[in-house]
């Protein structure tokens, strides 16, 4: 059968990424992180868009070079159509459209959320692909969703955040504690050396499978304000315990909802994705779920779980096989639904 080479481009938030895939296997996976946002403690959309414009040509060139693939060998260009920041999406979308047009090959638009889930189908040694149906929990700085996945392109969102994403809960807590951005990895590291029961934060009451994290952030803020009034060195003296307690609360929220989703659907195959799936606490809680609840869990390689273009490439590959190509007039969509 024919070899299928896909070039994929991702630019929905603050990472400019390109990847080349051959028949479902990754040949290259290049990500340019935008350091510029660190000093602002969060992503600044206008700066993100400008950085994408600077990065996109070198990132694509590097992806092709690392893969050892010529532009003329490509069979299709896949790109993130949404959801994401409009100014960021526009850069990737325009670039992908022009390149596909110039090379006279098909263009494939990809939903970023679908890509986080289908990243589990990248062909890799030593990695079992999930069996359908499975539950996918996508947890990152931009998203928090539980999706019932019946097939590659048959997915239903059964729960999502009504306010902040879980990664934002980490990053905003980190800001209160004076940690750098993004704070997730440091809170995780410190949490492993602290006592998770040292401080208690109440979990939000949200119906069904939806999540809420904005109340937790406020609770942490008030708690820190109160404690530092009494003891100005409170944070320094208790940082590991504070981090462990925050992490314990967040993981509890995530696992409670996963348990409920599994119970309601009867599905025991559970996959996670998104930057927060790197978290040691969530990984351990999932492994515990295998013993406690008979779950089978799937966690992709880290480079395929934070924002990347390899996950866009696998969706491109699967859509290519189905002959699902974009129209010439396809446009970026900031609020694209699953
Ligand atoms: O998927 P990602 O790279 O980008 C998007 O937001 O889409 O996720 C980044 C988020 C940040 O909020 C970061 O703090 C969080 O993932 N994160 C973590 C960990 N590593 C990254 N949160 C908790 N524990 C970690 N180990
Ligand atoms: Zn993402």
Domains present along the chain, CATH in parentheses: 5-120+307-322 (3.30.420.40), 130-299 (3.30.420.40)
The pTM of this model reads: 0.95
Report the chain's mean pLDDT, rounded to a whole number: 96
Query: Could you tell which of 48, 111, 184 is best to mutate to test the pocket of ligand 1, judged by most ligand atoms within 8 Å of the CB?
Result: 184
Atom number, ligand 1, closest to the C-alpha of residue 142: 6
- Residues 6+ positions from 299 with CB-CB distance below 8 Å: 271, 272, 277, 283, 286, 305
Q: At what angle do helices 234-265 and 214-230 cross, to 10 degrees?
A: 160
Please report the pLDDT score of residue 1 as a whole number.
67
pLDDT band at residue 38, thresholds of 50, 70 and 90? confident
Q: Residue 42: what pLDDT? A: 81
pLDDT of residue 33: 85
Residue 123 and residue 261: Cα distance in Å, rounded?
Answer: 28
Task: Write out residues with Cβ below 6 Å of ligand 1.
Answer: 13, 140-142, 167, 170-171, 182-185, 188, 274-276, 278-279, 306-307
- List residues, by chain if needed, whose CB lies under 5 Å from ion ligand 2: 140, 307
- Tens of pLDDT along 270-316? 999 999 999 999 999 999 999 999 999 999 899 999 999 999 999 99
236 C-alpha to ligand 2 centroid (Å): 32
């Amino acid at each position: 059968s024919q070899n299928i080479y896909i070039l994929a481009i991702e630019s929905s938030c603050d990472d400019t990424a390109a990847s080349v895939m051959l028949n479902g296997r990754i040949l290259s996976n290049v990500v340019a992180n935008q350091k510029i946002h660190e000093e602002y403690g969060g992503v600044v959309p206008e700066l993100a868009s400008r950085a994408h414009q600077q990065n996109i040509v070198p990132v694509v060139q590097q992806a092709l070079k690392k893969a050892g693939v010529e532009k003329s060998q490509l069979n299709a260009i896949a790109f993130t159509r949404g959801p994401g920041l409009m100014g960021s999406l526009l850069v990737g979308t325009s670039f992908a459209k022009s390149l596909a047009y110039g090379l006279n090959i098909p263009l494939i638009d990809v939903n970023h959320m679908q890509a986080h889930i289908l990243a589990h189908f990248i062909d890799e040694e030593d990695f079992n692909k999930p069996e359908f149906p499975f539950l996918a929990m996508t947890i990152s700085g931009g998203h928090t969703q539980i999706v019932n996945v019946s097939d590659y392109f048959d997915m239903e969102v059964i729960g999502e955040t009504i306010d902040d994403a879980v990664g934002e809960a980490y990053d905003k807590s980190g800001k209160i504690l004076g940690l750098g951005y993004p704070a997730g990895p440091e809170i995780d590291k410190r949490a492993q050396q602290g006592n998770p029961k040292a401080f208690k934060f109440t979990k939000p009451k949200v119906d069904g499978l939806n999540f809420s994290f904005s109340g937790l952030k406020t609770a942490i803020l008030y708690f820190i304000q109160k404690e530092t009034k009494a003891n100005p060195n409170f944070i320094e003296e208790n940082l590991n315990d504070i981090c462990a307690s925050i992490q314990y609360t967040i993981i509890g929220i995530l696992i409670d909802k996963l348990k409920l989703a599994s119970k309601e659907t009867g599905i025991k195959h559970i996959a996670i994705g998104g930057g927060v799936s790197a978290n040691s606490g969530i990984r351990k809680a999932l492994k515990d779920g295998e013993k406690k609840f008979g779950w089978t869990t799937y966690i992709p390689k880290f480079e395929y779980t934070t924002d990347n273009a390899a996950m866009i490439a696998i969706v491109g590959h699967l859509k290519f096989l189905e002959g699902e190509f974009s129209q010439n007039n396809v446009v970026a969509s900031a609020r694209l639904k699953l």
